[in-house]
């Protein structure tokens, strides 16, 4: 479930091993241009969850043995947790309980759990009214950010961005009042100083008994925007990131795939929690290329329970990953500000061993991106 580059990495990994796949989404995302597997588009899951359950039940009831089900976005993770009993009739999957999933998907609950377990977080306020937002906004230093409690709900209100940046207390209070008018919950947060390379992550698979089966740590080198997804990343040895992540996940009694992100704060040299994602992340192809093939590991665990645990120590450090579309957009922004030349950008892309879109045996996703860029370049001429 999910046809982003995250879902695309699953389809490619499993299909290349002869596993028949069905890819479901409600949008024509890049994963839908793959030549692997079968694609089905459904109504948006938040508008028509019954349509998803109906199709999943229809497919599940007709396969000879229980199929494996993976969710690669927050909304689909929520569906698995909500409908665990109904879907487990037909499918094998690993998910958190509904209560635990809610604590992960809700940023306020995430941060409360982290603080209770001695893990540092950015300075954050959770206003419950416009009046409270105005008072609390005056305590922040600027620029600062507004962030939705639940990303898959709130991002639709901020042009699908992760956060909204406010340059003053007045703008912060006004934007909070506008965005929260319908009851959608937003929090106000400081911006921790530091560039893209201060962002580190822990990616892992924890099995149905709460044991860590496989893991790696990574570092962002470049983001698609100041608060965007990692467009250039690399695997690194970051033991403190792994230690803090495990402490947090053990407190959650965690199950399933996970991505935990921290930022290294230059003010005190401490890691502060940015977010937990209850799934694999957009840079999942980095893990696959580094020797931790989460789709295959998860599939084997669910179909061959006797498969032994991985000690996680076999991932290769220094593997570089690029998302070709996002990194080109990052280059355009950095070139404009004079921070990155074409030569340096091109050399960094060539050094990437793992690529989100390009594959010799599956060129469709990258060709779809090139088509988008071509159409965008032609629009000004057409308008003229």
19-23, 147-151, 193-197, 315-319: range with lowest mean pLDDT: 147-151
What integer is the mean pLDDT of 257-278? 95
In whole angstroms, give the CA distance from residue 241 to residue 123: 19
CATH topology match: 123-190 vs 196-355: no
What pLDDT is attached to residue 310? 53
Angle, nearest 10°, between helix axes 5-15 and 294-303? 60
Q: What residues does each domain of the chain span? A: 5-96, 123-190, 196-355
Please identify, in words, the CATH class of the domain defined by 5-96.
alpha beta
Question: For 328-361, what is each residue's pLDDT tens digit?
Answer: 999 999 999 899 999 999 999 999 999 999 999 9
Per the prediction, the chain carries an average pLDDT of 91
pLDDT per residue as tens digits for the range 97-135: 888 988 888 888 999 999 999 999 999 999 989 899 999
Q: Alpha-carbon distance 207 to 147, whole Å?
A: 30
Q: Which residue has the higher pLDDT, 187 or 313?
A: 187
Q: What is the pLDDT of residues 253-263, one digit of tens each?
A: 999 999 999 99
Residue-wise pLDDT tens digits, 199-220: 999 999 999 999 999 999 999 9
pLDDT at site 365: 96
pTM: 0.91
Task: Give the dihedral of Cα atoms 289, 290, 294, 295; nearest 10 deg.
Answer: 10
Cis peptide before 143 (omega within 30 of 0): yes
Q: Does domain 196-355 have CATH number 3.30.470.20?
A: yes
State in Å, rounded, how far the first CA of the chain is from the last one: 41
Quick one: fold of 123-190? Dna Ligase; domain 1 (3.30.1490)
């Amino acid at each position: 479930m999910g046809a982003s580059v995250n879902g695309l990495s699953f389809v490619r990994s499993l299909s290349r091993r002869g596993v028949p796949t069905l890819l479901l989404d409600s949008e024509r995302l890049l994963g839908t241009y793959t030549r692997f597997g079968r694609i089905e588009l459904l109504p948006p899951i938040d508008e028509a969850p019954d349509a998803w359950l109906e199709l999943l039940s229809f497919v599940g009831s007709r396969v000879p043995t229980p199929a494996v089900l993976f969710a690669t976005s927050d909304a689909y993770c929520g569906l698995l947790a909500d409908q665990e009993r109904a879907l487990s009739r037909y499918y094998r999957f690993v998910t958190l309980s509904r209560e635990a999933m809610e604590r992960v998907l809700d940023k306020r609950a995430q941060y409360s759990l982290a603080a209770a377990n001695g893990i540092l977080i950015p300075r954050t306020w959770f206003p419950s009214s416009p009046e409270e937002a105005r008072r609390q906004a005056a305590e922040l230093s600027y620029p600062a950010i507004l962030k939705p409690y639940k990303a898959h709900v709130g991002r639709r209100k901020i042009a699908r961005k992760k956060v909204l940046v406010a340059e003053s207390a007045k703008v912060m209070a006004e934007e909070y009042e506008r965005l929260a008018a319908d009851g959608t919950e937003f929090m106000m947060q400081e911006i921790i100083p530091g560039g893209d390379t201060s962002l580190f992550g822990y990616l892992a698979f924890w099995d149905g008994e709460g044991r860590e089966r496989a893991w790696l740590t990574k570092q962002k080198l470049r983001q698609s925007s100041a608060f965007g997804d990692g467009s250039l990343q690399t695997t690194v040895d970051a033991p403190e990131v792994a230690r803090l992540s495990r402490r947090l996940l053990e407190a959650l009694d965690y199950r399933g795939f996970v991505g935990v992100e921290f930022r290294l704060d230059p003010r005190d040299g401490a890691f502060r929690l940015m977010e937990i994602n209850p799934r694999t992340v957009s840079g999942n192809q980095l893990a696959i290329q580094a020797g931790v093939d989460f789709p295959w590991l998860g599939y084997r665990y669910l179909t061959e329970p006797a498969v032994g645990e991985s000690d996680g120590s076999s991932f290769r450090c220094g593997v570089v990953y690029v998302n070709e579309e996002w990194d080109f957009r990052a280059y355009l922004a950095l070139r404009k500000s004079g921070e990155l030349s074409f030569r340096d950008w091109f050399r960094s892309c060539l050094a990437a061993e793992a690529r989100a879109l390009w594959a010799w045996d599956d060129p469709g996703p990258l060709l779809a991106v090139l088509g988008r860029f071509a159409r965008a370049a032609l629009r000004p001429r057409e308008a003229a």
